[in-house]
Amino acid sequence: MILVDGAKRDRTVWPGDLGIEIPSAYAAFDDTESARNALTTVYDHQRDTGELPCSGPQLNKYGSDTYHLWNLAATWDYYRYTGDTRWLSGVWDRYKKGVGLIAGKVDGKGLVSITNTFDSVRILAKGENLIANVLWRVLDTGSRLAKAQGDAALAATYAERAEALRKAVNANFWDETARVQVLPGLDDPPAGRQLPRRLVRPRWPGAGPPHQRVPQGQLERGHLHRAREQGQPWGLLRFDGGQRPRRRRRPDRRPGGRGHHPPRPRVLSC
């Protein structure tokens, strides 16, 4: 069993989704085996440089600093739920190599400056990007992983780097006028700032915040084909406004009638 992006779309591990998939699988199914298998797969395809893939077999894509980081962040998530020190020991050298690669991209401002720009359905600009500073979480949790491995010196090093990055993020990205950056643990002071309601309401209407992947967001970015694709009933049900199912489709057929993926056993997708 393994975690993949979408069982009716592909059979590939996409590390950028693991931050949601691993906790979801654990909470919903008490499942951690799929997380271990997904992470083992990406570590098995790590390049000699330390770069981890942004998608697993059969696509085997590389070139994403953010997905590289999510591989490392997801390593903590799996260990957090399982305490699987045997597995962690097996990937530990590769984990450290991956951290070293991305930590080497911290620039003079103390921020991650990305060079590999692939990210989900968009291409990021090279240079400093708050998204890539998920490195803070990697270093923060990596310190705890190092302690679990009995490496107190490395744990201290990771913790120091995490604190330096936290300070750099707040010094360079905080906008006192907009005041919209609040991430517990990363924001300064650590207790967090209270967002004014006038800023929260337009960003969190009804069932939740608007997301760039909805068709409207894709149209605004000029991605017509993606907007059209996301408007199609990919699963068994098509929902009208997130409320009622409108029509049922065969799970192994695309909306246009072309065959998609035949059923395969033991694939868990979130």
Q: What does the mean pLDDT of the chain come to?
A: 76
For residues 37 and 134, state if they share a domain. Answer: yes
For residues 116 and 224, state if they share a domain. Answer: no
What pLDDT is stored for residue 134 in this prediction? 84
Q: CA 126 to CA 133: how far, in whole Å?
A: 13
Is residue 3 within 8 A of residue 18, CB to CB? The reply is yes
Lowest mean pLDDT among 23-27, 202-206, 221-225, 235-239: 235-239
For residues 164 and 219, state if they share a domain. Answer: no
| pLDDT tens readout for residues 150-159 | 999 999 999 9
For residues 257 and 129, state if they share a domain. Answer: no
For residues 217 and 143, state if they share a domain. Answer: no
Residue 76 within a domain:
yes
Residue 125 within a domain:
yes
What pLDDT is stored for residue 179 in this prediction? 59
Q: Name the domain boundary from 150, 173, 196.
A: 173
Residue 62 within a domain:
yes
Radius of gyration of the chain (CA): 20
Residue 162 within a domain:
yes
Cα distances from 95 to residues 39, 106, 208, 265, in angstroms, run 11, 18, 34, 30
Q: CA 121 to CA 211: how far, in whole Å?
A: 13
For residues 157 and 257, state if they share a domain. Answer: no
For residues 89 and 151, state if they share a domain. Answer: yes
Q: CA 52 to CA 43: how far, in whole Å?
A: 7
pTM of model > 0.75 = no
The residue type at 231: G
What pLDDT is stored for residue 148 in this prediction? 97
The residue type at 29: F
For residues 109 and 222, state if they share a domain. Answer: no
Q: Name the domain boundary from 116, 147, 173.
A: 173
Give the domain CATH number at 142: 1.50.10.10
Residue-range definition of the domain harbouring residue 69: 2-173
Residue 32 within a domain:
yes
For residues 35 and 150, state if they share a domain. Answer: yes
**What are the residues facing 267 on neighbouring strands?**
2
Residue 103 within a domain:
yes
| pLDDT tens readout for residues 209-225 | 555 555 665 566 666 66
Q: Name the domain boundary from 173, 188, 220.
A: 173
Residue 141 within a domain:
yes
Q: How many domains does the chain have?
A: 2
In this prediction, residues 71-98 reach a mean pLDDT of: 97
Q: CA 164 to CA 31: how far, in whole Å?
A: 35
For residues 137 and 46, state if they share a domain. Answer: yes
For residues 131 and 45, state if they share a domain. Answer: yes
More confident: 74 or 248? 74
Residue 158 within a domain:
yes
For residues 132 and 229, state if they share a domain. Answer: no
What pLDDT is stored for residue 51 in this prediction? 96
